């Protein structure tokens, strides 16, 4: 057989083979392209940011980690609670320092507050300057969707009057202000230190249990 004839036939078969595989190769490429274009499984959504703004009562979450963990399960929980904080007017001084007011915290944090904010401030305030509406307007301006407002323990007439302001404001802001009635929830419980206000470990857990269903509503599955 003529070697040149054999080589020519082989080249023809190779060309034929290549031509025959082109459609298959094209289908493979198309399938891979479709796989690449298909949407990937949805990643878990980010945890909802919840910010707690408080005074020395709420600061119990800082020294009772179990209470903070319970409250913050499944959430991006942030807490800003300091001694002597007031709601709107200048806070009282403590150990040579004057903490920011709740209003100032809102003004600084703004969008970083997240959609849910807990307010537990008032033990250092007088009724006359306890301006719930001003705080609610500031929260709304930052995009907060829901404020959870904790009532005070009514150990003085001033605290009773502050609670009345909170409840009255809840009627005006009914779509965005939720009252967490700590006064009723904690009544008769052995959760307090000698002053009847600051919390023991059990008290911190009690406060977390009151707040948990309110902060978790529409934000976590459990």
- 44 is a domain residue: no
Number of folded domains that form the chain: 2
Domain membership of residue 32 (yes or no) is yes
Q: Which of the four pLDDT bands, split at 50, 70 and 90, describes residue 18?
A: very low
Res 219: pLDDT = 66
Residue bearing the bigger pLDDT, 98 or 21? 98
pLDDT of the residue at 220: 56
Residues 32 and 71 reside in one and the same domain:
no
Q: Range with the lowest mean pLDDT among 36-45, 69-78, 147-156, 166-175?
A: 36-45
The CATH number linked to 199 is 3.40.50.1110
Averaged pLDDT score across all residues of the chain: 84
Same domain, 94 and 18: no
Residues 84 and 8 in one domain: no
88 within some domain: yes
Residue 40, classified by CB atoms within 10 Å of its CB into exposed (0-12), middle (13-18) or buried (19+), is: exposed
Same domain flag for 67 and 162? yes
Q: Is residue 222 part of a domain?
A: no
Task: Look at residue 53 and give its three-state secondary structure.
Answer: strand
**Do 125 and 165 belong together in one domain?**
yes
Q: Residue 43 falls within a domain, yes or no?
A: no
Rounded to whole angstroms, the Cα distance separating 32 from 30 reads 5
Say what the pTM is: 0.78
**Structural contact between residues 183 and 163, judged by C-beta atoms closer than 8 angstroms:** yes
CA 124/CA 115 separation, integer angstroms:
26
103 and 21 part of one domain: no
Domain, as residue range, for 10: 1-38
> For the residues 207-222, what does the mean pLDDT come to?
83
Of 44, 115, 121, 106, which Cα lies nearest the Cα of 77?
115
- Whether 190 is in a domain gets the answer yes
156/113 same-domain check? yes
pLDDT the model gives residue 11? 47
Residues 84 and 192 in one domain: yes
Co-location of 123 and 181 in the same domain = yes
Residue-wise pLDDT for 142-200, tens only, equals 999 999 999 999 999 999 999 999 999 999 998 899 999 999 999 999 999 999 999 99
CA 159 from centre of chain? 28
Task: Based on the fold, state whether residues 17 and 101 are members of the same structural domain.
Answer: no
Residue 217: what pLDDT?
Answer: 86
Whether residues 96 and 21 fall in one domain: no
Q: Is 211 inside any structural domain?
A: yes
The CA-atom distances, in angstroms, between 97 and each of 64, 100, 194 are 24, 10, 25
| Residues 135 and 166 placed together within one structural domain of the fold | yes
In angstroms, rounded to a whole number, what is the distance separating the alpha carbons of residues 141 and 21?
Answer: 64
The conformation of residue 56, written as its DSSP 8-state character, comes to T
Average of per-residue pLDDT across 22-45: 45
């Amino acid at each position: 057989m003529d070697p040149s004839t054999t080589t020519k036939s082989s080249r023809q078969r190779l060309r034929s083979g290549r031509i025959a595989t082109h459609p298959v190769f094209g289908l493979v490429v198309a399938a891979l392209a479709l796989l690449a274009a298909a949407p990937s499984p949805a990643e878990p959504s980010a945890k909802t940011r919840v910010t707690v703004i408080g005074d020395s009562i709420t600061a119990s979450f800082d020294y009772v980690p179990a209470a903070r963990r319970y409250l913050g399960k499944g959430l991006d929980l942030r807490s800003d609670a300091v001694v002597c904080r007031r709601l709107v007017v200048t806070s009282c001084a403590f150990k040579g320092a004057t903490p920011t007011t709740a209003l100032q915290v809102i003004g600084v944090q703004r969008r970083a507050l997240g959609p849910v904010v807990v307010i537990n401030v008032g033990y250092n305030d007088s009724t006359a300057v306890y301006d719930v509406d001003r705080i609610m307007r500031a929260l709304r301006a930052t995009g907060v969707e829901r404020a959870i407002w904790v009532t005070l323990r009514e150990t003085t007439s001033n605290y009773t009057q502050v609670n009345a302001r909170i409840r009255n404001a809840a009627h005006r802001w009914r779509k965005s202000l939720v009252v967490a009635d700590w006064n009723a929830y904690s009544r008769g419980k052995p959760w307090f230190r000698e002053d009847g206000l600051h919390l023991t470990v059990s008290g911190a857990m009690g406060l977390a249990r009151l707040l948990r269903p309110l902060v978790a509503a529409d934000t976590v599955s459990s």
